[in-house]
């Protein structure tokens, strides 16, 4: 296992530079074998990883971006703006900027590569191919360093102060995809291993939320399914997404991971809920590799207390209010993968103390009861739980254990207090 180090101070002395870099990590046989196994998991066919590098370049305003896995050599499963001959893999680690980033154990920010003592003598810099570079390490969920996500340009660049943090967010869902593909590629993978990956995919990354808000989510696994949720900061507010990919097993999990990643990318890019769902509909057309998925996408703006939301076949958010709880008015579009249809943005003003409750159908569906009656039961039970709750954490615990459904399906929920 490779642990994170504090960023070492820069020095132009070669002995000091080499002392700050941990090149022995390159030769750890267990780590190399593990990364080589990851690299064999059909990563170059992953549209999610390709989207990650395109988004990284867009966030940085750079000409190029790539994901590198560092095993017995530097292999590049996804790249943007990089010559295909270069990106096809097998680069010498000792002569690459990603190799230096990897050996440092932390982010490497290079505004002017010709002036940077750690990289100025490397062939890509000496040849003029790289004038600036920013790389962020990629770690497996057990902490092992496996690679680097980087952006770079031919000219010197004053990288933004928050860019490394933004790339770390992208790394988190790139690693979800890599770990999932590795499990899928291993025929001996157990349900326990797959469930472990699902738990990591479902759990949102840690993000700051707007002042005065509280949020919590829960996931209950009944089978290997495709339920998921996400929240992340958006411009001036918070985005919350919840979805359910039809089916069970590897196919549903793979669809869930890719749909979650792509919805997160659209939120990062600043799309509103309806636009994000429309784009997802184009990204997942009707085909044999993806069934259908329902998704509810929401944005909350604290400045005007407005909840903006849109649904692709997903049930409406429940607004928990002490004077009486109600389902938000909803005009849902078709589920993702069921054919393109128009998705409409809707808005609702929230009051102080309101809680927005989003959920998947595994929480309320019953085999011999229509959806309207099941939702009415959910509203009543959730309202009682809300009145008795002491915090969003307490409320989330109570809601996930309501026991209203008899379908033995996965379920997840998000509660956000404003």
* Domain identity same for 277 and 377: yes
User: What are 256's two structure tokens?
Assistant: 């869930």
Strand-by-strand arrangement of the 214-220 sheet:
214-220, 411-417, 355-359, 318-320, 326-327
For the chain, what's the residue count? 418
- To 5 degrees, how large is the angle CA 111–CA 264–CA 149? 30
Across the chain, which has 418 residues, the per-10-residue mean pLDDT values are 40 50 71 81 71 86 92 87 55 84 90 93 92 94 89 94 83 80 61 58 64 88 78 86 82 76 81 92 64 92 92 96 97 85 91 96 84 93 96 95 81 93
**290 domain-assigned:** yes
CB 10 within 8 A of CB 118: yes
Asked if the structure places residue 271 within a domain, the reply is yes
Q: Count how many domains the chain has.
A: 2
Same domain, residue pair 170 and 213:
no
- The C-alpha angle with vertex 160 and arms to 154 and 166, in degrees rounded to 5, equals 100
3-state helix vs strand vs coil in the chain, percent to 5: 40, 25, 40
The pLDDT of residue 6 is 38
Q: Note the pLDDT of residue 201.
A: 60
Per the CB < 8 A criterion, the answer to whether 85 and 94 are in contact is: no
CATH of the domain at 103: 3.30.450.40
My answer on whether 378 and 243 are in the same domain is: yes
pLDDT score, position 215: 94
**Are residue 161 and residue 214 in the same domain, yes or no?**
no
Q: Would you state the pLDDT for residue 66?
A: 94
Q: For residue 122, what pLDDT is reported?
A: 92
- Structure confidence at residue 259 (pLDDT): 83
Q: Supply angle C-alpha 88, 92, 93, rounded to 5.
A: 110
pLDDT of residue 84: 47
Report the side by side order of strands in the sheet with 306-312.
225-234, 237-248, 293-301, 306-312, 346-349
pLDDT of residue 5: 40
Two tokens at 319?
């607004």
Q: Are 76 and 87 in contact (CB under 8 A)?
A: yes
Which pLDDT score is estimated for 67? 94
- What pTM, to 2 d.p., does this model score? 0.67
Q: 60 with 159: CB under 8 angstroms?
A: yes
Please indicate, yes or no, whether residues 96 and 223 belong to a single structural domain of this protein: no
Domain interval for residue 374:
205-417
Q: What is the reported pLDDT for 263?
A: 86
* Cα 186 from Cα 194, distance rounded (Å): 11
Do 240 and 164 reside in the same domain of the chain? no
CA distance 234 to 164: 17
């Amino acid at each position: 296992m490779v642990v994170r180090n504090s960023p070492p101070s820069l020095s132009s002395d070669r002995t000091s530079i080499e002392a700050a870099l941990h090149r022995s990590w390159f030769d750890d046989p267990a780590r190399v074998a593990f990364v080589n196994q990851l690299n064999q998991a059909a990563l170059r066919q992953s549209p999610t990883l390709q989207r990650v590098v395109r988004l990284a370049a867009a966030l940085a305003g750079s000409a190029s971006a790539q994901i590198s896995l560092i095993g017995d050599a530097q292999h590049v499963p996804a790249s943007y703006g990089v010559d295909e001959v270069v990106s096809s893999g097998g680069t010498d680690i000792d002569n690459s900027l990603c190799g230096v980033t990897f050996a440092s154990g932390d982010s490497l920010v290079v505004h002017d590569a010709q002036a940077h003592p750690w990289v100025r003598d490397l062939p890509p810099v000496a040849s003029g191919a790289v004038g600036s570079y920013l790389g962020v390490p990629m770690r497996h969920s057990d902490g092992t360093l496996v690679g680097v996500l980087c952006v770079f340009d031919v000219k010197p660049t004053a990288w933004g102060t928050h860019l490394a943090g933004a790339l770390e967010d992208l790394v988190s869902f790139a690693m979800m995809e890599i770990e999932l593909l590795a499990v899928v590629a291993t025929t001996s993978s157990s349900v326990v291993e797959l469930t472990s990956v699902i738990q990591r995919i479902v759990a949102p990354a840690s993000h700051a939320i707007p002042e005065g808000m509280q949020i919590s989510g829960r996931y209950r696994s009944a089978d290997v399914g495709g339920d998921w949720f996400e929240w992340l900061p958006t411009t001036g507010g918070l985005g919350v997404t919840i979805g359910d990919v039809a089916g069970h097993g590897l196919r549903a999990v793979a669809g869930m991971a890719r749909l979650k990643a792509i919805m997160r990318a659209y939120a990062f890019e600043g799309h509103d809920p309806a636009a994000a769902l429309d784009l997802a509909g184009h990204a997942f057309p009707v085909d044999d590799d993806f069934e259908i998925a329902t998704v509810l996408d929401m944005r909350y703006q604290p400045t005007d207390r407005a909840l903006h939301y849109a649904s692709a076949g997903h049930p409406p958010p429940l607004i928990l209010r002490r004077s009486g709880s109600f389902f938000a008015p909803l005009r849902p579009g078709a589920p993702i993968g069921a054919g393109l249809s128009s998705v409409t943005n809707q808005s609702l003003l929230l009051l102080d103390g309101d809680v927005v409750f989003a959920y998947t159908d595994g929480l309320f569906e019953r085999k011999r009861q229509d959806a309207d009656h099941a939702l009415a039961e959910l509203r009543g039970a959730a309202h009682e739980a809300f009145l008795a709750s002491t915090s969003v954490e307490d409320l989330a615990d109570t809601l996930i254990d309501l026991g209203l459904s008899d379908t033995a399906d996965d379920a997840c929920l998000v509660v956000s207090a404003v």
